[in-house]
Amino acid sequence: MMIIEFILIFGVLLFIHEFGHFIFAKLFKINVEEFGFGFPPRLLKIGQFRETEITLNWIPFGAFVRLSGENDPEVKGGYGDSSIHARFMTLIGGPLFNLVLGVVLFAIIFMQVGIPDLKSVQVYGVNEGSPAEIAGISAGELIIEINGVTITSTEQLSSQVELNRGKPITITLLTPEGEEHIVTAILRVEPPPGEGYLGVTLVNPYKEASVVEALPYAFRATGGYAIQLLALPGQLIRGTISAEEARPVGPVGIYSIYSQARERDENNAGSTNPEDRLNTLLILAIISVALGFTNLLPIPALDGGRLILLLPEIFLRKKVPAKLENIINMVGFAALIALMVIITTMDIINPIVMP
């Protein structure tokens, strides 16, 4: 059942990609001959949307869009006959929809896990034998006040501690159970290396987030994962990561990662920490971002490769001949198939293990 579940979910991610191409083609009035659920051969026609046939196909995996005149600029109203702007946006529509889906999934995650409350300070850890431990401060407590001064940031707390080093300070704390208590701690003058005057490590606690509050963090996470993917080749060349860590994965490897994430979520079903139960959603968000980013790589047959072939027309006003473009894309497609066979073989011989 896990494999069927994965095929359906991964198919949805591919469907979103093709739907992006479809929407932008329609927006720019490019004729779309067919939007297919799954891959050919065709099982049946299930509907018609203007000039577009909606079909159901035998291979139940993803979707595809067949544009009129995709390989023939002589076809009126087709892809090859459309403006450079229309072709550019149609090509970028698929990856863009995958990235948008990544943002949506990350937003859901942040709404479940919460976002940092930058106006609160929480004790993350207490050093052994420190003034904080002697005073009875515990990890998980919020620091509300120091000497009557309301604490709203770690910088403000550090400033208050710096001003009072070597002196006793009164600290008002709030326990995770919501109980307030006051302690007195005598700050150190010369703390041990790696420790502060009070002897605590601090964090901003997490708070519930609305959609609006979660979105900036979702955009940041999406951009962060895209940058990580972009940085992989350079890190591999510099030796900062191993070839094993940077290896590409195919459907078999992705399924392995997905199944491990699902297993973790099932094992953590009783956890009170939402983060323990969101491994699958996180993996799907990362996969969606990776799909969008990978399709933008300048490789023939991928969307990015097709975008590269538009550059001469954009900058030199000279269109790449259709025959040459078709040859480049066919060679690129054959190379991609060969690469996928190699990657899939590696995934089978050396299965991916989540850290």
pLDDT at 114: 93
**165 Cβ contact list (under 8 Å, min separation 6):** 187, 188, 189, 197
Is the CB of residue 298 less than 8 Å from the CB of residue 332?
A: no
> Which contacts (CB < 8 Å, 24+ apart) does range 216-219 have?
217/106, 217/107, 217/110, 217/115, 218/103, 218/104, 218/106, 218/107, 218/109, 218/110, 219/103
Confirm if 62 and 38 have CB atoms less than 8 A apart. Answer: yes
Q: Which two tokens stand for residue 100?
A: 């948008």
Predicted confidence at residue 355, as pLDDT, reads 66
CA–CA distance from 314 to each of 23, 126, 317 (Å)?
23, 60, 6
* Alpha carbons 12 and 2: distance in angstroms, whole number: 15
Q: Confirm if 265 and 277 have CB atoms less than 8 A apart.
A: yes
> 3-class secondary structure for 56-87?
EEEEEEEEEEEECCCCCCCCCCCCCCCCHHHH
What is the Rg, in whole angstroms, of the alpha carbon atoms belonging to the chain?
27
* Distance between CA atoms of residues 148 and 161, nearest Å: 13
Q: What is the pLDDT of residue 73?
A: 80
Of 130, 117, 120, 119, the closest CA to residue 183 belongs to 130
Q: Are 149 and 160 in contact (CB under 8 A)?
A: yes
Distance between CA atoms of residues 255 and 269, nearest Å? 21
> Where do we find the tokens 């620091």?
143
Tens digits of pLDDT across the chain (355 residues): 788 898 889 889 999 999 999 999 999 999 999 999 888 899 999 999 888 999 998 887 778 999 998 877 888 889 988 999 999 999 999 999 999 999 999 999 999 999 999 999 999 999 999 999 999 999 999 999 999 999 999 999 999 999 999 999 999 999 999 999 999 999 999 999 989 999 999 999 999 999 999 999 999 999 999 898 888 877 777 777 777 777 788 888 888 999 999 999 888 888 777 788 899 999 999 999 999 998 998 888 889 999 999 999 888 888 888 888 888 988 988 988 888 888 888 888 888 777 6
- DSSP class of 249: -
- Average pLDDT of every residue of the chain: 90
Alpha carbon of 299 to those of 80, 186, 294, 320, 328: distances in Å? 20, 64, 9, 16, 10
Strands 206-207 and 149-150, bridge-based pairing: unpaired
Pick among 1.10.10.10, 3.40.190.170, 2.30.42.10, 1.10.357.140: CATH of 122-207: 2.30.42.10
Q: Angle at CA 299, nearest 5°, toward 297 and 302?
A: 80
DSSP string, 158-222: HHHHHHTTTSEEEEEEE-TTS-EEEEEEE--SSPPTT--SS-EEEEPPEE---HHHHHHHHHHHH
Domain ranges of the chain: 122-207
User: Looking at residue 332, what is its pLDDT?
Assistant: 87
pLDDT at 235: 79
Q: What is the pLDDT of residue 275?
A: 80
Cis check: omega of the bond before 41, within 30 degrees of 0: yes
The pTM of this model reads: 0.84
Instruction: Give the CB-side neighbour count of residue 64, counting CA atoms within 13 A.
Output: 16
Q: What is the DSSP string of 122-149?
A: EEEEE-TTSHHHHHT--TT-EEEEETTE
What are the φ/ψ torsions at residue 204 (nearest 5 degrees)?
-90, 125
